[in-house]
Structure formats: C-alpha cells, structure tokens
Structure 1
Amino acid sequence: MKLIHAAAALALSSALIGLSAAPAGAKEITVAVSSTFTTMDPYDATDTLSYSAAKTMYEGLFGFDKDMKLQNVLAESYTVSPDGLVYTVKLRKGVKFHDGTEFQADAVKANFDRVTNKANALRRYSLYYNIAKTEVVDPYTVKFTLHEPFSAFVNQLGHASGAMICPNAIKQYPGKQLAFHPCGTGPFKVAEYNPSEILHVVKNPDYWRKGLPKIDGMTFKPVPENSTRVAMLRTGEAQFIYPVPPEQVKTLEGEPNLTITKTPSIIERYVAFNTQIAPFNNPKVRQALNYAVNKTALAKVAFNGLADPVTGVAPKGVEFADVYGAWPYDPKKARELLKEAGYPNGFTATLWSLYNHTTAQKVIQFLQQQFAQVGVKVSVMAMEAGQRTSYLLKKPKDSQLKMVYAGWSSSTGELDWALRPLLATASWAPVAVNYGYYSNKVLDENFREALRTTDKAKKQALYSSAQKAVWEDCPWIYLVTEQNVSGQAKNVSGFYIQPDGGFEFSGVDVK
C-alpha cells in the first residue's frame, strides 16, 4: 500500500477545518506532549504516545485503569476452555460506533482478522499472532481460538492497541489510509489530525457511558522542546503537559496555579546493541559498556534525580519481574573486558536515539562522554518519530544499527510483553522491536512454556531462569527507570499518567 505522507495529512486537516474550530464557550483542554505521533491506527502503533492519544477515539474489549488494573470495557465477561485454547467473550450491548452503526461481534472479528493477517504487515501482529481464528457466536458473543495456550491473553486484549475500529472504515480505507480516518466507539471523535502538529478531538454525543465525557474536546500538540512545553503550561496555552522536564520540576512546584504529579513508572530506558555484528556480538564488549556507564550519575544529569538505576531486565512493578540490583559502575573493569575481547584501544561506533526531545539529547551526550572514558568513541544521532521506520525496521543484512537508546513499558502489565517483543528471536525487526537481533534459547523456550501454564509458581520459575540468562548476557546497557512527571492547571482533574506512560482520561474535567 502507498503511504500517506504529510501533504495528505495536511489536505485532510484542511478538509476537517470546519470541525476543528471549538465553539464559543466550549470546555476544552490542550495537552502538550514530547513527541510527534506515528499513527492513529492503534494496530500499527508501537509508541505509547500514539496509541494513548488514540484512546480518545477508540476502546477495546478490556482495558486498564489509572493504576494498570485490568477492567472490562466493551466486554462484559469472558470464559476460558479447560485446555486454555478458547476464550469466549460476552459483549456490551447498546454501544455505537462514531458512524452510527452498532458495535457487535462482527466488528470484533473484522478487527482481529485484520491484525492477524500477516499480509497486512501491521506492527501489532506480534501481539496477536497467536489467535488462530475469531468467530461470531451470536451478535453479542465472540470466540477466540488460539494456536496454543496463552495465559496472558486477556491482558493482551486489554492493551490499547486492541481497539475496536468501525468495520465500515476498515473496508473503506485500506492500508495506511485508515490512520487518517479514525472511527471507534470512544468518548471523542476526530476533528483534526496531522501527525507532526495536532490531534484535535471533540465530544461524542452518543457515547455509551452516561455523563461522559465531561468536556467538549481535547487537543494534543507535539512539543519536543522542553522549555516550550513548560512555557505553554505557564501561559495557559496548555492545561496539561507530559512529561515535565526534570530540571523544571522544582520551579513549577512553586507556582500556585499548577499541580505537578510524580508517580512510579514501569518505563525502562536502555541501549540496545546490534548483537549480530562486531564488536557487539561479543558478550564481553556488551558487559564492558554496562560497567562503563554510571547510572546514578545519569539519573541526576539527564533526569534531575527523577529516575532510578535499572535493577532487572524488566522494571519493578511488572508482574513476574526479578530484581538483581543495578549493574555496577566500574570503568576499570570495563577497560579490562574490552582488552580481553580484543579491543585494548577501544573502537568507534554510532549511537542513535529513538527520541529527539531535550532529555534524550542529554542522555546520549552523557553516554558519549562515558564511553570515551574507556576508549570507545561514538557519534550520536537523535531521531524524529518519522525516521524510526526507515532507520530501525530493517532486516539484519540491511541494518546500519550499532547501538540505539530506547525505552519500553509493558502495557499489558505482565512480563511477557515487557520482554518478548524486544528480546525474543521471533521478534527481530522488522517483525517487532528486537532492533538488535538478539537471540537467547533460554528466553525463547522458557517464555513459550510460561505462557502455556496458569500455575504461577511454575511460570515464575521459568521467567526467572530466562531473566537471569538475559541479565548476564547483556543485550542492552541497563540504564534507568523513570518516574512519570506530569504538570497540569489546578482547575483540571481526572487526567492521569498510567505506570506504563499511557493516558487515562475517561473522567477528565475542567472547573
């Protein structure tokens, strides 16, 4: 399919201009975020920002509340067959899509048939590939049959990418076009969308949750520059910003009309190595660069102390995550390992960043300085959102990747989605986000077995063995887990940052 570029997005924005203007006296808020959007097709989004913003328009069968507790949304209940292969879901009645059609089981089938068709090349295929078939039992009952038992399946259905998109839109807008024509069951409808500039949504008057939404609309604006984002909050141009730059937190906390909220996250920051090429195919080199980075200093320099050194392959707060303690800072040990690996004088490489906001720039500059102290000279490049596909989603033979600064959070709350998309052999780019083409037999086999059982003790043992193997093998430099820091006007309530960095705003209001 032909990709719709910025010009097409601008044309769409122009077509929707009549919708985008807020009526006089409308109760709306503006949310300033740190990056541009990649897509408004939840099944094709891999960044938390894009599918979180899409939640204004879309809902799934299940979801997570502000504390990442699983809850029913468009599903009323479910049952599982004794062999763990069949999930039967009862659907909520009386729900309408934005185009006026009723939400029924045929819509569920249309959406999951689309994502599980590998030919569609959707980014979230790797999340739902285990679905063998989706069947309509009756208008309000749907049945999923899996290829093999998968004990985290309902958590997967709760992921924000599992949105119910209007079947008519799926038919009318094939491929990448669908992202520019959002149509769901959510509390808001699209008014204007340009990936690099704006997402403006307006109240859905037919929303099934009575009394919601409480406001008339929301506008999301990508603002990568930290100081600009803060200025928008101070002047009232934005009523909510995320993230608040760490260096600005204390200053903003002193302002009477603003509220700064700091909460724990399950967002882990790391540097992934291309493990298929020298020198990063040598575990001693990977371990050396872990020793070369002072994670405590990084947390202070780049995050103003609002982050903690990573203590495991997955962050605390993810179900089944093990804690080992931070990887030690020991530049002497780093130089010894480099010498043992055959690089007594270090080497040169490139370090990319998935992000180009100010904090990410600080991180990669800090890493550049740390590596230089052990003889490793790197050039750095921070990417805009639109560059990620062309630089990262390549097969191993075509990749120019050496190292990349990245981050991930398990938006299912379970260890499987915290690690499998990033480290499993089946998740090599471009299929998923194992950018470094890492492969570990223990991880692959143990995760498969863990997902076949509902015995928590057995699952923990399998997961623990896999985590230990990965921790020692160092496919990443384990950096920090951030705190979620948001800022809002005091008259705004009901907008929350979830532990995975997603948004929960079903009850957002302005007084």
Structure 2
Amino acid sequence: MVSTYNRRGFLKISGIGLASAYLAACSVGGGDSGAAANALKAAFAQPVNDLDPHGPSSVDESTLLAGRLIYDTLIRRDGDKLVPGVATSWEQTDENTWVFQLRDDVTFHDGSKLTAGDVKASLERVKDAGTAQSALWTSVSAVEAETDTTLRITTSEPLGTMPVNLTLMFILPAAKMNEPGFFRKPIGSGPFRVDGFTPSDELRLSAVEHWGGKPKLDRVTLPYIPETSSQITALRTGELSALWPVPPDQLRELEGLDEIRLETIPSYAYYFNWFNCGREPFTDPRVRRAMWRAVDVAGIVKNLFGDGAELMTAPIPSTVFGHAPQEPYRHDPDAAKRELADAGLADGFRTSLMWFSDTGPLADALAQAMISDWAKIGVTVEPQNVEKAEWLRRLNAKEFDMDLQINTVTTGDADFTLGRLYDSDADRMGYRNPELDTILRQAHRDSDRGRREELYSRACKIVWDDAVGMFPAALISTYGLRSTVEGFEPAASNQPDLRGVTLAS
C-alpha cells in the first residue's frame, strides 16, 4: 500500500536520522522544443556499473533498475499479480513442463524480431552463468523454441516458481549477446534504448516504440551522484524532479515546500546480519541466539531509523509472499551471558563483523550499535568496513565471521531469498539443515500458492529459531516528488516503472 504524507505525518518523521540509497529524477533543460520537458535525470545510490542482466551484478538493484528499462521479460509483476510480458500466456502441461506463447510483434532496438530462440538463448545463458540468478534455474533440463512464438521449458523436477522467476529473466538478442563489448551499449526490446553508458558514471536512455506503448518520457539519464546533500539541494531548487528513497535525516530540508509531496511504500529491502555457521563459535546455535539477545534490536531500529524502517518479525520482510511472523528475540543481556556460559564461553570471545558503507542507510551506525551491545556481554567484535569489491569476494568465499548487509527480495517471493540462500547446496553462510532443505525444495517445486505459503511459514520458523542470522530492519521507501511529476508509481522493489511518467510544464 502506498501512503502520502500530509504535513502532520511529514513533521513526525522530519527529525529521523537515516542515510539512504536513493534514485532521483529531474527535468533536463535546454533546447528549443518541448522535448526537454519530458526528460528525466535519475541518480541511484549505488552506481550502475554493469548492464549485463545475467552477469555477476544480476541481482544488484542498479542493474535490475536499468534492466527493467532496457530489456523485456516473458512475465512481469504488477503489484501482487503476475501479468503477461513478451509471453501472452503460459501453461504447466505436466509437472515438469511449461509451455509459453509469445507475442509476434516484439522487436529489439536494432529492428530485429524477438523470437522464442532469443528467449531460449537468454535462459540458457543465465542458467550457465554461475551467478546469483543461476540458482533459480538449476532444475531446467531443456529449453526448446518449437516455433518463433512457442517456447517449451522442461525441468528435471517440478518448478512451481517458474512464473515468478521469469520476472527476472531478461531477454537478449541471441545473435549478439555474446559479442565482445555488447554490454557497453546493449540492445534490448524494452521501452528505452541505450544512447550511452559509462560504468559507474552515467547511463543515457531514450524512448522507443514498444509493444506496450511508447513511454511518455523522451529521455532518461542516470548519473552517479554520491553526495546526499547535493541531491536534496537539487530537489529543493527544482533541478531534480524526484528522489527516492529520501533519507529521513534530510526530510527537514524539504519541510514547507508546497511544490514537493512525499509518498511512502514498504519495500522488499531489509537488513540482515549473517553468522558464519561453519566457523567457531557460530557453529553453536546457542552462541548465535546469545548474540541476538544481546542486541537491543527494537531500540536501535526505532532510534536509528524511525519511520524509515520497521522491526522485522521473520527472515524476510512482511511485504514478501511467504512471510510468517515469529516471536521476537527479547533484549536480555543476562540471558545472553547465560547462553554463552552454557556454550563454554563464559568469558566471552573475540570475533569480527564485515560490511561496506554503501550497502544501505546508516550501515555504519547500525554496525557500531550492535558492536557496542555485544561488548556488554564480553564479546569483542572487530569492525571491518571494507570496499564493496573486497566485501563481495570475502562473502562468496565465506571469509567472514559475521556479515551485515541489505538484501532485496526482488521477485517479492520467499523462494528468491529463502530458497536461494538457505538451502545447504547454496552454502552461503555455512548453515546446513536437511529438514529445511526438504521444505525449501518442496516449496520451490510446488505451484499451489496455499501449500507454498504453509511451507514458507515452517521455513521462516526454522531460520529464525536457529538464528542463522539476525534480521533487524525492513526498510520503508520514501519518495520525494515535485508537483510537476505525474503518473509516477512508487515500487516496493525500488525499481519503478517510468513508462507512464510525465513532467507537467
């Protein structure tokens, strides 16, 4: 549900402290025609550094944001519903077979026709890429383009998450996608084409005739602007047309500006702190639970984030299908000390916490608050604030004791997070639980929504009770929009569809 702040609601949150990821859009001046009024300039917290939607950055929000503008998918998400994209219909003909009928009027930006052969090549490419999305497709055994508009996908076991997974599977031209340098100026079939791209600097797009209708905007530019204060100043002066999520510690700077409205939406993004369950002493669930009880999570979320986040009650946000609320861990340092003593650690221990500052809002402050609380039970935690590239390397190699980061459940479905990250075969944080594996794999295979919901309820309880990680805060996205912005719809994924946006003169 999207809500709009009135003045009273705005004043309530105006004093909150939160440094945030952001995406800004602004009018571009210049020229002697009306086209400039339909140009947006958008800036994201993390720079767009890769336009390969199947590559190492395939689940990064910046890559996904760009991908949704440049490429098409067979199926799209519209709120809580899955709706046709390039596919006009789909059917599970038996438990291991899905058949898709495709539109016959879809063309790539170079004028070539999109066919089932392109979908086949794209799915095979992401399956074999060895990246975060590849895990969604391990059971795919064959992809057949029976005609230009008929695609058959066969799996080695039932894959009930096929439709929702396909909302992430971007379609590339088979004949060109493996050419050297293709992703410096890639060709897609989405509503915008790439005019220019400098990784980690700027992405320039222009609207094209699209099967879903040509965007009302003429151009979109996404530069990387690292300074939050500069973003807010630009929004205030009218250089920017929109900013999201707006850092709550900056909201007071927008107070009383009649030309700006604020809208909020609960997001798919959340903080977690993983324990490396394959490393001592975190192999012992008593130690993991003690670490959780030692931290005043509710107090930290309230005082640090205010209305910019909500206290989590499960290992996935409440906005995600499969969420099942659990009993919160009560802040109890004495109980934490007793659990450590039971685990043979009455004198505490030394460990470390790694994160990178740009992972999300107030990451540094959140890390320091937890470290401070752990010190009170005799646990000395070395802070390891590292560059993102080093963080990613260590995460993938499991070279960490604890890892603090943000995750976004991009599909809005628990399988994307629980099924992809907590299965023993994924081995992301050293946690192995055969019972959980059975539950997650059954939910992955099942296409019945009710049965999947019950299975994910059981999975949420296991991950929570075993304290595989700590799950403090689900983020709320606040959008600042100037009165000239029309047709903008906030998105829980922080990847809004810009096709219907216009700028009034």
Return the TM-score normalized by structure 1: 0.86
Q: Secondary structure at the match of 2:463?
A: helix
Question: Partners in 1 of 2:182 and 2:356 — Cα distance?
Answer: 25
CA shift digits 1:411-463 (9 cap, x unpaired): 222221131222111222xxxxx2x2222211111111223334444434433
Q: Is residue 52 from structure 1 mapped to residue 51 from structure 2 by the alignment? A: no
Q: Secondary structure at the match of 2:106?
A: coil
Contact map agreement 1:115 1:124 (CA 8 A) in 2: yes
Question: Partners in 1 of 2:390 and 2:256 — Cα distance?
Answer: 38
Question: Partners in 1 of 2:236 and 2:256 — Cα distance?
Answer: 12
Contact map agreement 1:247 1:304 (CA 8 A) in 2: no
1:256 is matched with which residue?
A: 258
1:369 is matched with which residue?
A: 372
2:126 is matched with which residue?
A: 115
1:431 is matched with which residue?
A: none
Compared CA separation, residues 377 and 213, structure 1 to 2 (3 A): same
Question: Partners in 1 of 2:233 and 2:340 — Cα distance?
Answer: 45
Question: Partners in 1 of 2:327 and 2:481 — Cα distance?
Answer: 34
Q: Is residue 70 from structure 1 mapped to residue 82 from structure 2 by the alignment? A: yes
Which of these residues, 166, 169, 173, is aligned with residue 173 of structure 2? 166
State the shift of 1:326 in Å.
2.7
| 1:91-106 equivalent positions in 2, closer than 5 A | 91-106=102-117
2:289 is matched with which residue?
A: 287
CA shift digits 1:57-116 (9 cap, x unpaired): 111011112x242111111111111x3211111111211101110111111111012122
Question: Partners in 2 of 1:92 and 1:22 — Cα distance?
Answer: 39
| 1:146-295 equivalent positions in 2, closer than 5 A | 146-159=155-168, 162-173=169-180, 177-204=181-208, 206-210=209-213, 212-295=214-297
Q: Secondary structure at the match of 2:364?
A: helix
Structure 1 unaligned blocks of 5 or more: 1-19, 429-433
1:380 is matched with which residue?
A: 383
Letter of the 1:414 partner, please give it: D
Contact map agreement 2:185 2:197 (CA 8 A) in 1: no
Question: Partners in 1 of 2:405 and 2:483 — Cα distance?
Answer: 33
Compared CA separation, residues 169 and 259, structure 1 to 2 (3 A): farther
Letter of the 1:510 partner, please give it: L
Question: Partners in 2 of 1:256 and 1:262 — Cα distance?
Answer: 17
1:131 is matched with which residue?
A: 140
Contact map agreement 1:36 1:385 (CA 8 A) in 2: no
Contact map agreement 1:34 1:225 (CA 8 A) in 2: no
Compared CA separation, residues 453 and 64, structure 1 to 2 (3 A): closer
Q: Secondary structure at the match of 1:506?
A: coil
1:61 is matched with which residue?
A: 74
2:335 is matched with which residue?
A: 333
Compared CA separation, residues 223 and 496, structure 1 to 2 (3 A): farther
Letter of the 1:217 partner, please give it: R
1:296 is matched with which residue?
A: 298
Compared CA separation, residues 445 and 266, structure 1 to 2 (3 A): same
Compared CA separation, residues 291 and 481, structure 1 to 2 (3 A): same
Question: Partners in 2 of 1:237 and 1:382 — Cα distance?
Answer: 34
Return the TM-score normalized by structure 2: 0.87
Alpha-carbon RMSD: 2.3
Letter of the 1:411 partner, please give it: T
Which of these residues, 434, 443, 452, is aligned with residue 441 of structure 1? 434
Q: Is residue 33 from structure 1 mapped to residue 44 from structure 2 by the alignment? A: yes
Contact map agreement 2:185 2:196 (CA 8 A) in 1: no
Question: Partners in 1 of 2:325 and 2:54 — Cα distance?
Answer: 32
Q: Is residue 86 from structure 1 mapped to residue 97 from structure 2 by the alignment? A: yes
417-426 or 472-481, which moves further after superposition?
A: 417-426
Contact map agreement 2:51 2:183 (CA 8 A) in 1: yes
Letter of the 1:488 partner, please give it: L
Question: Partners in 1 of 2:173 and 2:237 — Cα distance?
Answer: 38
1:463 is matched with which residue?
A: 456
Percent identity over the alignment is 27
| 1:12-27 equivalent positions in 2, closer than 5 A | 25=33, 26=36, 27=38
State the shift of 1:354 in Å.
4.5
Compared CA separation, residues 263 and 473, structure 1 to 2 (3 A): same
42-51 or 450-459, which moves further after superposition?
A: 450-459
Contact map agreement 1:189 1:201 (CA 8 A) in 2: yes
Question: Partners in 1 of 2:453 and 2:487 — Cα distance?
Answer: 35
Compared CA separation, residues 229 and 375, structure 1 to 2 (3 A): farther
CA shift digits 1:14-43 (9 cap, x unpaired): xxxxxx998664221122221123421111
Q: Secondary structure at the match of 1:189?
A: strand
Q: Secondary structure at the match of 2:265?
A: strand
1:312 is matched with which residue?
A: 314
441-450 or 496-505, which moves further after superposition?
A: 496-505
State the shift of 1:376 in Å.
2.0
State the shift of 1:508 in Å.
1.6
Q: Secondary structure at the match of 2:177?
A: helix
1:500 is matched with which residue?
A: 493
2:3 is matched with which residue?
A: none
Question: Partners in 2 of 1:286 and 1:379 — Cα distance?
Answer: 17
Contact map agreement 2:436 2:459 (CA 8 A) in 1: yes
2:54 is matched with which residue?
A: 43
Letter of the 1:195 partner, please give it: P
Question: Partners in 1 of 2:297 and 2:151 — Cα distance?
Answer: 48
